[in-house]
Structure 1
């Protein structure tokens, strides 16, 4: 919800929103972000784009570039690392 608010109300890019979210990381999250990832892998998360089933980036002609997906990629990465699964099983 916070990410959507920053994007829509404050006109921030997904990269900027990821930077804001990561700035708020403390404790285990902060250590994980700083020590588990290289600078390159952090940048790959920050600049992630949506891809189709074949791995091809989704291009949006209205915005003139690939569709950003940094916030979802960050959240997916957190879930995958700390919960070790991305599937839902009730």
Structure 2
């Protein structure tokens, strides 16, 4: 059986995370949108897994103090690739 993750799966998961983080902070979609200088519709679309822009996603990550963790994740991936390449 093939096990793969689709882009839609990831967008839905990111949307679910955003919604849970927003609710944990007791914010409405409008309140979060105001904090990020975005529209409520943009937040609603993100939470529904509908094509968020990278800018929107980064604003949300930054708001919820997750920018460092995503930066570290990507940095680790880059370092792993550098190490793999240097072995040859």
**Structure 2 length-normalised TM:** 0.31
Higher strand share: 1
Higher helix share: 2
